Structure 1
Amino acid sequence: MTIKPLNVSTLRRDLFASFVVFLVAIPMSLGIAVACGAPVAAGLIAAIVGGVVAGLLGGSPLQVSGPAAGLTVIMAGLIPAYGWPATCTIVLLGGLLQLLLGACRVARTALAVSPAVVHGMIAGVGVALVLAQAHVVLGGTPRHSVLDNLVRLPGRLLHAHPHPALLALLTITVLTVWTRLPRITGPRLAGALRLVPAPLPAIGLATLVAWWFGWDAVRVDLPESLLADWRAPVLPRGPLPEIFGAVVSVALVAAVESLLCTVALDRRRPPGVPRADLDREMFAQGASNTLSGLLGGLPIAGAIVRSTNNVEAGARTRAATVLHGVWVLVLALSCGPVIEQVPLAALAALLIALGAKMIGAARPRELRHHREATACAATLAGVVALGLGEGVLLGIGVAAIMALRRLTRLSVRVEEAVPAADDRPGQAGWHVVVEGTLTFLGVPRVTGALQRIPAGAGVDLDLNVDFMDHAAFDAIHQWRLAHERLGGRVDIDEVHEAWYERAVTGDISPQRKTPPSARWWAPWANRRRRSEVPELDAPEVSPSALLLAGVREYQGRTAPLVRPIMSELAFEQKPEHLFITCVDSRVVPNIITASGPGDLFINRNVGNMVPRHGSRTSDDSVAATVEYALNVLGIRTITVCGHSNCGAMAALLAGGTEVEHLTSLTRWLKHGNHSLARFLDAEPDGRPPLTRLCQINVMQQLDNLLSYPWLRAMADRGEVELVGLYLDLETADVQMLDRASGSFVPVAEENPGDAADAPALA
């Protein structure tokens, strides 16, 4: 795996990020331990082990692991059932199971769980957290059953203890206000406020108020040392299937939570950070949980809140994750009396705020759009009513039923048509269209529709099906034979694939799908020469006819394939790169980057130029694109791509005389004068002059981008990366600018086995 070299600047960023994450991890770890009913020290042990072990071994360098909020429901049930030492054994065995899964390299299979089920699970855990911690906030003790907590909540409200309730209210108020302060303060103070995570002032102020006024509120009970009460894990006593189920639940829930965090974090990793290795991350989580269980800690998983804070604080290597674990260890060893002043009600309020965020993470609008809200709701209800494991299994079952229903969806339309020419007088014609997947499940529907057709009628049966099993074939074939025996006519037209015809002829060879008639990336002229597009067979075809023929080909072949992707992107775009390139028709950004819809935010102009800041020839179109890309879309990589034989550069070399009659183009080409001056100052090196200018122009446009002060500041802080590419049209090769040498070098091909470890092109 490629690792970013650790220099002074990187170390400074990692050091600061580790301290920010440490401030978030302390209250979270204590709160989760309290919510589980485990010793408070168990939360700190899990934070230390997760930071150091998972940080050193993990496949996602910037992911922060620690006590798993998603496992609070499971742990709250296991601890009273088996006792704490036996529960530690279950955590240890769960870690060993994760090690086995990591060694078998099956991490990606955990992502096969429907996101709707995962969102429902997270929301259900959020509901359980809120209901349980509401009792602590009101001065009581939570029950182990979510429903029991819900039933007893009204009684607890009537007998609420004022001091814990006021401390919790103060904590939630600070959490809410602190995140909004940067919007109403000046820019300098806003920057300072963003550096301090909200949980720290919230817990700190609640602790100070409780101490100052001497309020009656239960505090954190910390042992003299982390391992003072350590006892060797013991084997749990109980039915073996139940113990095995507990181990599997801990291992799989923690694994799925970690892998989902890894995938989410990988989408927003800063430039230069290697891609995540899911199998390595699974192995690291297994090692962490094994050690945490041995030392008496809570189960560990990747934490999205702490990981996001780590990235936003500027972390660049795994050193930030490891150092955060070291700071937790130092604090636990040296600041025990301070931690023991923290009121449990403040930690409970923090967990209530976390639970509310987890409930909001269900994203019901998106799930309704994809018709998966039912699976999410079933999982949520199952987690609340039955428990985490049972709820997840219920959600998976509902999702499987819904998927099966989609896969076997069938549409049958019966229409009375105009009689065919060979039909007998008075004989009605019928048109039947069957679309979808035709299996035995759809046989009653199809046969019911066919049997309503009068005997002796002419029938045109269109089978637009992607699969037909033997039961469906036999039903249709027997109906056809019977209908024709009674004098009727049946014409079967298979629109999609010849399932019926192959069954009749006994052809048992694998189904061969008709290959596309034309390469989607080939120019119209190539396809016209090969007569692959019927509309292009005419001797003379107008440009508009060419365009319409292409649209029809897209509608018939490509649109059905990209429709699921476009439906996901319809309401929001999250491109990864701003791609500035030439308007030249031979340069197709999505081809040379192997990208698809939603990946590139593209700006095309003559000569792939960026007007300098304060240029006399004003033009804000490119600057507006850059501002929107970085400040609204959150893009952090800008690529300028030039190409060989660029007409704009050729015009610059000719002094602009060839385009003097084109006033707008002449005015635009003035933005290339800096490129031309740089070309004239450079020494010839054997390359053709036009090639040199085309490549120098790319380097100059990257410098032009840095002429904008706000963008230069972002680049200096490492928040944006600039990339130069050059496309050789003759060879179709792409070269990348090496800023150190000032030359363009070939982009090396990636070995398939190293794909997961290789850094991104940008």
Structure 2
Amino acid sequence: MTPTKPSVSVLRRDLLASFVVFLVAIPLSLGIAVASEAPLAAGLIAAIAGGIVAGLAGGSPLQVSGPAAGLTVIVAELVQTYGWRATCTITLLGGLLQLALGAGRVARTALAVSPAVVHGMLAGVGAVIVLAQVHVVLGGSPQRSAVANLRELPGQLLHPQSHPALLGGLTILVLLGWSRLPRGEGRLGPALRLVPGPLPAIALATLTAWSLDWNASRVDLPRSLLDGWHAPVLPHGSLHGIVGAVMAVGLVAAVESLLCSVAVDRMRPAGVPHADLDRELLGQGAANAVSGLLGGLPVAGVIVRSTANVEAGARTRASTVLHGVWVLVLALSCGPVVEQVPLSALAALLVVLGVRLMDTARVRDLRHHREAPAYFATLVGVVLLGLGEGVLLGIGVMAMMALRRLTRLSVRAEELVPVPGDAPAPPRCHVVVEGTLTFLGVPKVTRLLQDVPPGASVDLDLNVDFMDHAAFEAIHEWRVAHERQGGRVDIDEVHETWYERAVTGEMSSPRKPPPQTRWWAPWGNRRRRSEAELDGPEVSPSALLLAGVREYHGRTARLVRPIMAELAMEQKPEHLFITCVDSRVVPNIITASGPGDLFINRNVGNLVPRHGSRTADDSVAATVEYATNVLDIRTITVCGHSNCGAMAALLAGGTEVEHLHGLSRWLKHGNHSLARYLAAEPSAEPSAEPPLTRLCKINVMQQLDNLLTYPWLRERVEAGEIELVGLYLDLQSANVQILDRAAGTFVPVPEEAPDGGGARTSLDAHGPATGGAP
């Protein structure tokens, strides 16, 4: 990709964002220097090196580097052990270590960290920031740990200093109000979009404190950048201690920077390139080498300043570099204007940024994937233990969860019934084992198998993706013992023949099927393979059909043969499934059902002709009658889908299918759906559904009402004997939604079935269907 020249508007955004980050970086850099027991100038030197060197050489355009709070404990210990000047040398050597790691291209391993851990880290950092900076907002001083800050917070709340608290409150009000100002109308709209919220908030607080001469602590700068500065010296001590110190600084700073880079990459606006982690590690190494050489603190990517950079509207690395330039200019000139900025206003800015880092929407997303425990473990670990310890704790919890998932095993006995017949016969047991069968699951499997009665006929289904030797021995020994006692064991392996290959001694790796040859893949995805089988460039539809039959015989028939044999003389379906003839809708796939489960009626538009319709058609009514009166089916489902051609024809007034006389007559049964659609008020929300989608969903609701026009069926529904269900398949996402009759909307299918069946038709909730002909 050819790099494009930044526009004037982008440069203006970067210029404003760099000044906001500069205002945030000054107190943080000085505060971290104090917490690290280093000279104040060391914090400014690290901010300059992180901004300019890492900004130019790094691979994450919007990440801001500088002295990091997560390294304060390490640096303070090094200063006490080796002295400040030797600590600078350790920082320089840590930078060289990072350069070596970056040259070895090992930074990509940061992507292996789960998003749950990354977001937990951000939330933990946000909590630590809030707990510390609230004290500053109230006119006090933060403690050395989040726990101490939390412990001292009640006393600080009871005895705040009025002026700092008012300035902090004013800053927060401006920040919250600025995001709610109208941006798209009037002459001020474009101007407001160019100004990030932190800038007017800090400016107003500073102007208020200066004009009213309020008593509030302000930014305190050193007179000169070189105050207290000394050239680095070699550390004195044991070699392994010095090597450990270098590795601690280099690796902790590297991990923190890479995690921050991954987090910032997730927040980047559209148009900003992805982060190059290897280049970022090289940039961090160069910045640490320069900072250590000049007598500065260790440098790392910092999430607070990076978030401020993104929130302030930065779009290129120019913002990061310029913020370092502003720190350099300030350090050389000691600008008196910046010294008027109240610390409580900057602390209030950090409080707002910290709260935004604790994004509750992330928790909802992680709960769907069952990764919330790792998120909360990381958050609590960062708050109570520290950044590195919290991340390690989160990674450990995530590893345990992954191990549990990889070894998850389901063992159940599906049926235990006697074989029918006049003479007494041993019972028959059907046992299903699903998941990964390792030694960890052996106790669970053997416990169930030991409950099988002696002499029983057992159908054992091994639906496992792996079986180790311990599991094979356990099952094989049980089988031999059970058959010795007169029982019978039939083992059916659904996927891979782990047991069979272990018995025969053929333990080579199982052959994987060719890609995209699953039974549910469309023929078009397998056309090349079929052409190769037929030795010809052209494959006729009939030849493709026969190729599919041959694949069924070779792969599937042997698996379903026992099931089909049981169903050969009688069917006992559970559901009547009315859906469209559209080839993209495959009921057995979207319901994960098999032979004998669904009694299916398919027609154009999944329509149900109303009782007494002038356009007579008994095909659907005959299906419903047979399903409910002969097969005793208790559930009827109407399933619609997106981009339905029948609904599109209804929207077009039937003009496109006028030449298809049979189809035109059939589509008259959809007139009630069209009338219901026209009577409904379309949503004015920007995210409102397209007209065709709305009609497709309304059509499902109407067909459920059409079923209730049959008096005998309505009576059974009212008596609770039959349940009506509405489904909607979105073809693009392949997701299925269920109709909430009370709300009149389609909602995601719950992960677990609610008590009593959440999809049951309620006549009271929706009202009875009225008669009439289309």
Fold equivalence (TM over 0.5): yes
2:13 to 12, 17, 27: 17
Helix, strand or coil: the match of 1:522?
helix
Question: What residue number does 1:179 align with?
Answer: 179
Are the structure 2 counterparts of residues 476 and 59 from structure 1 closer, same or farther at C-alpha, using a change threshold of 3 Å? Answer: same
Aligned equivalents of 2:115, 2:59: Cα separation in 1: 22
**Which residue identity does 2:543 align to in structure 1?**
R
Given that 2:416 and 2:428 are in contact with CA atoms closer than 8 Å, whether structure 1 keeps it comes out as yes
Aligned equivalents of 1:67, 1:449: Cα separation in 2: 60
Aligned equivalents of 2:311, 2:167: Cα separation in 1: 31
Question: What residue number does 2:107 align with?
Answer: 107
Given that 1:428 and 1:457 are in contact with CA atoms closer than 8 Å, whether structure 2 keeps it comes out as yes
Helix, strand or coil: the match of 2:227?
coil
Are the structure 2 counterparts of residues 75 and 87 from structure 1 closer, same or farther at C-alpha, using a change threshold of 3 Å? Answer: farther
**Which residue identity does 2:377 align to in structure 1?**
A
1:74-89 paired onto structure 2 within 5 Å: 74-75=71-72, 78-79=75-76, 82=79, 88=88
Q: Give 1:91 shift.
A: 4.6
Aligned equivalents of 1:101, 1:269: Cα separation in 2: 30
Question: What residue number does 1:745 align with?
Answer: none
Question: What residue number does 1:259 align with?
Answer: 262
Matched, 1:197 2:196: yes
1:386-397 paired onto structure 2 within 5 Å: 386-397=385-396
Question: What residue number does 1:412 align with?
Answer: 411
Given that 1:414 and 1:430 are in contact with CA atoms closer than 8 Å, whether structure 2 keeps it comes out as yes
Question: What residue number does 1:249 align with?
Answer: 252
Are the structure 2 counterparts of residues 18 and 517 from structure 1 closer, same or farther at C-alpha, using a change threshold of 3 Å? Answer: closer
Q: Give 1:492 shift.
A: 0.4
Given that 1:120 and 1:376 are in contact with CA atoms closer than 8 Å, whether structure 2 keeps it comes out as yes
Question: What residue number does 2:608 align with?
Answer: none
1:719-759, Cα deviation, whole Å (9 max, x unpaired): xxxxxxxxxxxxxxxxxxxxxxxxxxxxxxxxxxxxxxxxx
1:90-138, Cα deviation, whole Å (9 max, x unpaired): 5544433332221111221111111111111111111111111222222
1:200-599 paired onto structure 2 within 5 Å: 200-233=199-232, 235=235, 244-262=247-265, 264-265=267-268, 268-270=269-271, 276-295=275-294, 296-297=296-297, 299-301=299-301, 306=306, 313=313, 315=315, 318-319=317-318, 321-334=320-333, 336-360=335-359, 363-419=362-418, 425-515=424-514, 516-517=516-517, 520=522, 521-522=524-525, 529-530=543-544, 531-534=546-549, 547=583
Are the structure 2 counterparts of residues 226 and 533 from structure 1 closer, same or farther at C-alpha, using a change threshold of 3 Å? Answer: farther
Q: Give 1:29 shift.
A: 0.5
Aligned equivalents of 2:687, 2:40: Cα separation in 1: 42
Would you say how many aligned residue pairs link Structure 1 and Structure 2?
Answer: 549
2:69 to 72, 80, 83: 72
1:98-137 paired onto structure 2 within 5 Å: 98-137=98-137
1:66-110, Cα deviation, whole Å (9 max, x unpaired): 337xx4244267437736656655554443333222111122111
Helix, strand or coil: the match of 2:413?
strand
1:412-470, Cα deviation, whole Å (9 max, x unpaired): 11133455699983210000000001111111110000000001100000000001111
1:745-756 paired onto structure 2 within 5 Å: none
Helix, strand or coil: the match of 2:463?
strand
Are the structure 2 counterparts of residues 444 and 497 from structure 1 closer, same or farther at C-alpha, using a change threshold of 3 Å? Answer: same
Aligned equivalents of 1:31, 1:554: Cα separation in 2: 57
1:668-692, Cα deviation, whole Å (9 max, x unpaired): xxxxxxxxxxxxxxxxxxxxxxxxx
Higher deviation after alignment, 173-182 or 32-41: 32-41
Question: What residue number does 1:144 align with?
Answer: 144
**Which residue identity does 1:50 align to in structure 2?**
G
Aligned equivalents of 1:237, 1:218: Cα separation in 2: 41
Aligned equivalents of 1:361, 1:34: Cα separation in 2: 31
Given that 2:50 and 2:64 are in contact with CA atoms closer than 8 Å, whether structure 1 keeps it comes out as yes
Q: Give 1:472 shift.
A: 0.7
Helix, strand or coil: the match of 2:434?
strand
Question: What residue number does 2:28 align with?
Answer: 32
**Which residue identity does 1:219 align to in structure 2?**
R
Helix, strand or coil: the match of 1:514?
coil
Q: Give 1:544 shift.
A: 8.7
Question: What residue number does 1:607 align with?
Answer: none
Aligned equivalents of 2:541, 2:302: Cα separation in 1: 51
Helix, strand or coil: the match of 1:187?
coil
Given that 2:374 and 2:394 are in contact with CA atoms closer than 8 Å, whether structure 1 keeps it comes out as yes
Helix, strand or coil: the match of 2:390?
helix
Given that 1:463 and 1:493 are in contact with CA atoms closer than 8 Å, whether structure 2 keeps it comes out as yes
Are the structure 2 counterparts of residues 527 and 497 from structure 1 closer, same or farther at C-alpha, using a change threshold of 3 Å? Answer: farther
TM-score (norm 1): 0.64
**Which residue identity does 2:548 align to in structure 1?**
V
Aligned equivalents of 1:423, 1:343: Cα separation in 2: 95
Given that 2:51 and 2:66 are in contact with CA atoms closer than 8 Å, whether structure 1 keeps it comes out as no
Are the structure 2 counterparts of residues 135 and 553 from structure 1 closer, same or farther at C-alpha, using a change threshold of 3 Å? Answer: closer
Q: Give 1:388 shift.
A: 1.9
**Which residue identity does 1:529 align to in structure 2?**
A
Higher deviation after alignment, 169-178 or 79-88: 79-88
**Which residue identity does 1:127 align to in structure 2?**
A
Are the structure 2 counterparts of residues 352 and 392 from structure 1 closer, same or farther at C-alpha, using a change threshold of 3 Å? Answer: same
Given that 1:497 and 1:513 are in contact with CA atoms closer than 8 Å, whether structure 2 keeps it comes out as no
Q: Give 1:50 shift.
A: 3.2
Given that 1:517 and 1:533 are in contact with CA atoms closer than 8 Å, whether structure 2 keeps it comes out as no
Are the structure 2 counterparts of residues 120 and 91 from structure 1 closer, same or farther at C-alpha, using a change threshold of 3 Å? Answer: farther
1:507-555, Cα deviation, whole Å (9 max, x unpaired): 12112123343775438876852434239999xxxx9989379776798
Point out where structure 2 has 5 or more consecutive residues left out of the alignment.
Answer: 528-538, 554-578, 594-641, 646-682, 689-774
Aligned equivalents of 1:325, 1:279: Cα separation in 2: 22
Given that 2:98 and 2:285 are in contact with CA atoms closer than 8 Å, whether structure 1 keeps it comes out as yes
Given that 1:223 and 1:229 are in contact with CA atoms closer than 8 Å, whether structure 2 keeps it comes out as no
1:606-641, Cα deviation, whole Å (9 max, x unpaired): xxxxxxxxxxxxxxxxxxxxxx9xx879xxxxxxxx
Given that 1:89 and 1:236 are in contact with CA atoms closer than 8 Å, whether structure 2 keeps it comes out as no
Are the structure 2 counterparts of residues 323 and 207 from structure 1 closer, same or farther at C-alpha, using a change threshold of 3 Å? Answer: closer
Q: Give 1:313 shift.
A: 4.9
Are the structure 2 counterparts of residues 481 and 537 from structure 1 closer, same or farther at C-alpha, using a change threshold of 3 Å? Answer: closer
Aligned equivalents of 2:412, 2:105: Cα separation in 1: 47
Aligned equivalents of 1:102, 1:22: Cα separation in 2: 27
Aligned equivalents of 2:167, 2:494: Cα separation in 1: 69
1:161-176 paired onto structure 2 within 5 Å: 161-176=161-176
TM-score (norm 2): 0.63
Are the structure 2 counterparts of residues 546 and 181 from structure 1 closer, same or farther at C-alpha, using a change threshold of 3 Å? Answer: closer
Helix, strand or coil: the match of 1:510?
coil
**Which residue identity does 1:284 align to in structure 2?**
G
Q: Give 1:499 shift.
A: 0.6
Given that 1:45 and 1:298 are in contact with CA atoms closer than 8 Å, whether structure 2 keeps it comes out as no
Given that 1:219 and 1:340 are in contact with CA atoms closer than 8 Å, whether structure 2 keeps it comes out as yes
| RMSD (Å) for aligned C-alpha atoms | 3.9
Helix, strand or coil: the match of 2:358?
helix
Question: What residue number does 1:702 align with?
Answer: none
Given that 1:24 and 1:306 are in contact with CA atoms closer than 8 Å, whether structure 2 keeps it comes out as no
Aligned equivalents of 1:486, 1:49: Cα separation in 2: 79
Q: Give 1:256 shift.
A: 1.6
Aligned equivalents of 2:236, 2:20: Cα separation in 1: 33
Q: Identity of paired residues, percent? A: 54
**Which residue identity does 1:139 align to in structure 2?**
G
Helix, strand or coil: the match of 2:489?
strand
